[in-house]
Amino acid sequence: MKENMKSIGVIGGTGVYTPNFVQDAKEVSVNTDFGRVMLVQGKVKGRNVFFLSRHGKEHTIPPHMINYRANIMALHNVGVERIIATSAVGSINREILPHTFVIVDQFLDFTKSRVETFFSKDKVVHIDCTDPYCPELSDIIQKAMDKFHYPYLRGGTYVATEGPRFETRAEIKAYSILGGDVVGMTGVPEVVLARELGMCYATIAIVTNFAAGISEKMLSHQEVVENMREMSREIQNILEEVIPNIPDERHCNCGKVLNEPVDNHI
C-alpha cells in the first residue's frame, strides 16, 4: 500500500549529506527549466523518499550559490508534495542552547541576491506567507521529538542571512531585537519556492552554536559541521520516525495557496 503513497522530499543541510535513513538508495538525475539536479531515491518503511543534499555530497555549494529553484522544481517534478528540511543554525536567543532542535514557524528574510519566485513573467503572483511552514508536518516532527525526549522548541523565528560569512555582533543584536530566535543561510528562499508550488515545507533546525556576540568564541564552519555530526544519530531517528507517519492526504492549507484564499484563522 505504501508503494502507491505520495513521495516525501527531504533536503539535507550542513552535516546531512547522505540519506542514511533510507533503504535501497539509488541516484536519479532530474532535469528542470533551471538546471539538472541529482536526487537520491530510497524507501523508509516502504514509503518512497527523494533526498537532496543542499550543499552537494561533498559540501561544495555555498548558500548563495545554491540553485534553489532547480532544487524545489526537481522535487516537485518527481511528485513530491511535502518536504522536510534540516538546517544547521546559530542561536540568537541565550535560552535556546546548542543541540536543541527548533521546529521553526516564521522567518525574517535578510538574503540579498536570491531569486525568490517562479513567477517573473506572464503571470503576477503574490502568495500568502503568513504562516509559511506546514503545521501538519511540524506536528508530526514534534511528536517524534516527544517520543525520543529530544530537547526541542515548537515555533521559533528563523533569520535568513545571505552568507557565506557569519554575522557581526551588531547584526545578531538587531535580529534579536526584531524577534529572531535562530540564524541560518539557506532557509529562504527554499520555503517560499516550495510554497509557491503548493508544497508543504517544514524545517528541523538544529542549533550548532551560539550566534556571533552571544558566544565570545570565534565562529567556524568546522564547529558547525562537528556539532551536526554529533547530532546525526538523532536526526536519523527523527526522519525514520516522521516519514512513515505522514498521512497520504494533506490536512493543511499549503496546497491551496495558489487556488483560493487561505484561512489564516482570523
* Contacts (CB under 6 A) with ligand HPA, residues 120-179: 161, 166-167
Alpha carbon 252 to chain centroid, angstroms: 18
Distance, in Å, from the CA atom of 248 to the CA atom of 260, rounded to the nearest integer, reads 22
The interface mask with ligand HPA, positions 8-47, x = CB under 6 A, is ----------------------------------------
Residue 68 CB, shortest distance to ligand HPA, in Å, is 16
Task: Count residues binding ligand HPA (CB under 6 A).
Answer: 14
Q: Does 211 bind ligand HPA (CB under 6 A)?
A: yes
For residue 41, the tally of other CB atoms under 10 A from its CB is 18
DSSP 179: T
Please check whether residue 227 is in contact with residue 209, taking contact to mean a CB–CB distance below 8 angstroms.
yes
Q: Which residue is nearest to ligand HPA (CB)?
A: 90
Residue 194 CB, shortest distance to ligand HPA, in Å, is 20
Alpha carbon 78 to chain centroid, angstroms: 18
Please check whether residue 206 is in contact with residue 239, taking contact to mean a CB–CB distance below 8 angstroms.
no
Phi, psi for 75 (deg, rounded to 5): -65, -40
The interface mask with ligand HPA, positions 178-197, x = CB under 6 A, is -----xxx------------
Q: Does 86 bind ligand HPA (CB under 6 A)?
A: no
For cell 525568490, the residue is 116
Q: Which residues bind ligand HPA (CB under 6 A)?
A: 88-90, 161, 166-167, 183-185, 208-209, 211, 219, 224
